[in-house]
Amino acid sequence: MKSRLINLFLALIVLAACSEQEPPDSSANDAVTGEAAVVETDAITVARNPFFAESPLYMNYPQFDLIQNEHFMPAFERGMAENLEEVEAIASQAAEPSFENTIMELELTGELLDRVATVFFAMASAHTNDEIQELDRQLAPQLAAHQDAILLNRDLFARVDHLYQQKEELNLEPEALRLLEDYHTDFVRAGASLTEAQQQTMRDLNAEIAVLETQFSQNILSEVNDVAVVVDSREELTGLSDARIEAAAQVAISRGLEGRFVLPLLNTSGQPPLANLQNRSLRERIHRTSLSRGSRGGDFDNRQILSDVIRLRAERAQLLGYANHAEYILEQQTAQTVEAVNQRLAELAPPAVANASREAADLQQMIIDDNQDFILASWDWDFYTERLRASRFDFDENQLRPYFEIDNVLQRGVFFAAERLYGITFQERTDLPVYQDDVRVFEVFDADGQTLALFIADFYARPSKRGGAWMNAYISQSGMLGTQPIVANHQNVTKPPEGEPTLLTFDEVTTMFHEFGHALHGMFSNVEYPSFAGTRVPRDFVEYPSQVNEMWATWPEVLENYAVHYQTGEPMPIELLDKVLSTQTFNQGFATTEYLAASIVDQALHQLGPDDVPAAAEIMDFEASALENAGIAMEEVPPRYRATYFNHIMGGYSAGYYSYIWSEVLDADTVEWFKENDGLLRENGDHFRDTLLSRGGSEEAMQLFRNFRGRDAEIEPLLVRRGLN
């Protein structure tokens, strides 16, 4: 039950709530499609529902070629009904509670619900359509109520609590004991110990929050499409590459705007074209449009929804005995306390702002040297940063792209590093169905030649896909269930015109290595219970293995292998390679400041009590005050996400966006370990895999780090990396 319900709903509902894709045309879905999301009544249609039995494909790989929109709701309804029957049978049995008849049985429940939910929420992010979005809205309160029906089941909690109270006498293995303790904690944190009246209040709060979170995210989906910047002439796009201009023309054609150009917005505050566009007024229009999302008035304004969600979360936290939502969330993270997070953010903010201020002064000097009389603004930062990079290091990002052809990066870079470090190998599979033509599937073999996992690679942007990059698992490893992992990585690389190569930016290369770090965490899982599989670890620990994997993107042996010119096959010149490596701390003041600003806003909102939450009209003023009070307010460096389009905090990163920098402390210290131990060696990879990557959530997260590193983490490597020392 924990893996198939608690983790499922906390992870998958979050995935839907955090989606940032543009609302596509309903015809966008190729494999997963249908006329309407309605309950099936035809007996033949029901019998053909591919979710009602395990997939017969290899390793139970999803039947993407058969799945239709109309299959989702019947499978959810049957899955929830079966799940409640399974849980009730456990709760009402006459036998005395035992680990086997209660905890292990709960681990086995919800098989059908798990099967449909993993695919549905994956499609809601990777390949959605109008019907899926409508289903998402319908399912949010239903799944919240379903979770409450289980976690607030008094008879079931009585059995779990009985086992918990006598846990010392049960003589359980360490992983089993941890599972029991986690079950008890999850029930208590869900409200199992509350009175009946309080539990009804909890149900009402959960349902309302679920609806609002989905509405918030779908507003972002709709607005980001609605406010895409339309440009009338090619001349205005001077500075962009021909390929990017052609892509903008193709987007315009797809929207019935032939002869014009459309620049879609990404989920972040900053937008990629700002680095190259010479037209300052167009840069300003793009950036102001980006920053105004969710607070422009009209149908997509998120200020009231955000205010309501923050207040309701605070009410729920206080109902459970916590001062605020942040205190509730952080109790289960490695940080543990509000004070610890506040201290970490506070100690990093001053040096980050100092660095950003020095960077701003350098950029302003460039403006002056150009005989310009304007003051540096946020929409100028990326443009002049690229000019400064070119001046200081004698190269710009566009020089790198011919050496970063996507398949070379994947197979000769990402896969090559994993092969050298862990001994695993990859073979592409073209016989398994995919939900979109450009999605690829690879079988992953362990060092002994046995199948380890299936890996799905989905790299290209499309209107049916949310923004950003992420990993998800269709099937997780479990010794108890005898399952092997099927994991997927997603990015949003702009697809070039037909016949043209896909040439990546350096950021996209790093992202590919990062997401594959998550994939390795899932593929290497070697635990007994599904609750602990793969990336089911605290939110402020989950980014750590993926951040470590980024190091191989610039490791000389790896970089030299994949960074070859897509036309000539010539390796990247050593002088250009040296320049890439020498820029690792370049612009880190900006990058750290924009990230910390978003993290501080997240904490400020979620450390409020219900009565202190600002009204809708005051949300943006509250954000500004929070940044000012933290000493991180810089007009030239807005938060990476402003509150009204901050999808992370609508889901699994609520009061948790600090996790990236928290994890990076572990990551930077781990990179030092690899350097000290000669880097890309099998024995190093095996040690990292055996002590940490394979253990999932089966041990306390920081103990896993100590098992690997031999000591607690030190912050100095992070400060050096980001130029904050």
Give strand pairing partners of 231.
261
Give strand pairing partners of 489.
457, 471
CA distance 367 to 381: 11
Which residue in this structure is represented by tokens 């500004």?
624
Supply 170's token pair.
Answer: 């049960």
- What is the CB-side half-sphere exposure of residue 668 using CA atoms within 13 A? 16
Give the Cα-Cα-Cα angle 39, 43, 45 (nearest 5 degrees).
Answer: 65
Length of the chain: 725
The DSSP line for 514-572 is HHHHHHHHHHT---SSGGG-TT-S-HHHHHHHHHHHGGGGS-HHHHHHH-B-TTT-PBP
CA distance 77 to 75: 5
Give the Cα-Cα-Cα angle 690, 694, 697 (nearest 5 degrees).
Answer: 125
Q: What contacts 152, CB < 8 A, 6 or more positions away?
A: 190, 191, 192, 194, 199, 202, 203
3-state class (DSSP) for residue 68: strand
Taking phi over 0 as left and psi of -120 to 50 as alpha, with beta for the rest, 516 belongs to: alpha
Q: What is the CA radius of gyration of the chain?
A: 25
Instruction: Based on the residue annotation, tell me whether 515 is a catalytic residue of this protein.
Output: yes
Cα Dmax for the chain: 85
**Cβ(395)–Cβ(574) under 8 Å?**
no
571 residue type, one letter: P
CA distance 497 to 241: 13
584 residue type, one letter: Q
Question: Which of 596, 660, 162, 155 is closest to 170 using CA atoms?
Answer: 162
CA distance 569 to 562: 10
Q: Pick the catalytic residue from 107, 359, 515, 543.
A: 515
Catalytic residue numbers read 515
